[in-house]
Amino acid sequence: MAIELLSVSSAYGNRKVLRNVDLQVASGSVLVLIGASGSGKSTMLRCIAGLEKISDGTIAIEGQVIHRGGETRRKKKNDPSNLLRREVGMVFQQFNLFPHLNALANVVLAIEKVRKMSHNEAKVLAESLLLRVGLEGHMESFPDQLSGGQQQRVAIARALAMKPRIMLFDEVTSALDPELVGEVLKVMRQLAADGMTMIIVTHEMGFARDVADRVIFMDEGEIVEDADPNIIFTNPREERTQAFLRRLIDR
C-alpha cells in the first residue's frame, strides 16, 4: 500500500479541515480528488507531504508511519519520516520555482544538496528530466522568461529529480491560461502511464476521467464518495456529489 491514512483529522484553530479521513492508495494507481474550495482536498495533500500537521490519526507510506496526530514539525535529521518524505514529490498551483535560478539550476539544486550527487552528475540528470517534460531549448531560461505551462513543467521535472515514489499534484493547472493546460496534462498522462503513484487535485474533469483509476469527492473535510471515474461522473451515488457536479456543468 503506497499511502494509508487512518482516521486523519486536521484543524486550523477551531475549524476542522479534515475529519476522520480513512484512505488507502495502491502503488501505481492514480487517484483524483474533486470537491469545492475548502473541502479539504489541498489540505489532505499538504498533510501527506508534511507541510501541515495532523491533529489526529496516522499517515503511513509503504507501511511505515511518517506522520502522527499531535506531533510538532521539528524532527531529527535521520528520523525515518524525514527520509520517507523524499519519497513524496509535490507540484503546486503557483509553481513555486526559485526565481533567482534558471530552469536547470532549479532542478539541480535538490539533486546536489539532498541526494548529494556531484554537480556534473546532477546536471546530467536534470537535463534528462527537462528533456522528458519537453523543455530542451529552455534549460538556461529563468522562470520569468518562461510561460506558465513551461514553468509548471520545470516544477514537475524538479519534483521528479528526487525520484519520488508518489507524486502529489495540487491544482497544478488552475493558474494557467487555458491553452497552456494541455502541455502540462500531457506530461502528467505520461507519468501515469509510466506507473507513478499519483494523487491529483484538479478541476479538469475530462482529464480526470481519462487518467484516474479512482475518483474521490470531498466535502467539508470528509470523503463523501469514492468510485470509479466512469461511474462517478455519469451516475454519482451521493446527493452532494450530484449537486457539485451539476454546479460545475452549469458554469
Partner 1 sequence: MSGDSPNYQWHWNVLFSHDAYLLLSTGLKYTLLVAGVSLIFGNVLGLCVALVRISKRAPFSQIAYIYTDFFRTTPALVQLIWIFYVMPILLHISLSPVVSGIVALSLNSGAFLAEIFRAGIQSIGRGQRDASFVLGLSPVQSFRHVVLPQAFRRVLPPTGNVLISLIKDSSLLSVIAVSELTYQSQIFVTSTFRPLELYTALAVLYFLLTYPLSLLTSSLEKRFRIT
Interface residue list for partner 1 (CB under 8 A)? 49-51, 77, 82, 85-86, 88-90, 92, 94, 96-100, 109-110, 113-114, 142, 144, 155, 158-159, 162
Phi-psi region of 116 (alpha: psi -120 to 50; beta: other; left: phi over 0): left
* Cβ proximity of 5 and 202 under 8 Å: no
Question: DSSP characters for 176-201?
Answer: S-HHHHHHHHHHHHHHHHTT-EEEEE
* CB 1 to partner 1: min, Å: 21
* CB 49 to partner 1: min, Å: 5
What CA–CA distance (Å, rounded) separates 88 from 80? 13
* CB 53 to partner 1: min, Å: 13
* CB 33 to partner 1: min, Å: 17
Closest C-alpha among 99, 109, 93, 106 to residue 139: 106
What CA–CA distance (Å, rounded) separates 17 from 54? 10
* Cβ proximity of 3 and 59 under 8 Å: yes
* CB 50 to partner 1: min, Å: 7
* CB 244 to partner 1: min, Å: 27
Beta-carbon contacts of 115 under 8 Å, excluding residues fewer than 6 positions away, are 122, 161, 162, 163
Any idea how long the chain is?
A: 251
Nearer to partner 1 by Cβ, of 127 and 213: the residue is 127
Nearer to partner 1 by Cβ, of 48 and 215: the residue is 48
Nearer to partner 1 by Cβ, of 65 and 109: the residue is 109
What CA–CA distance (Å, rounded) separates 20 from 17? 10
Nine-digit cell string for 42: 489541498
* Cβ proximity of 125 and 194 under 8 Å: no
Nearer to partner 1 by Cβ, of 50 and 221: the residue is 50
* CB 94 to partner 1: min, Å: 5
Nearer to partner 1 by Cβ, of 111 and 139: the residue is 111
Nearer to partner 1 by Cβ, of 114 and 193: the residue is 114
Nearer to partner 1 by Cβ, of 110 and 208: the residue is 110
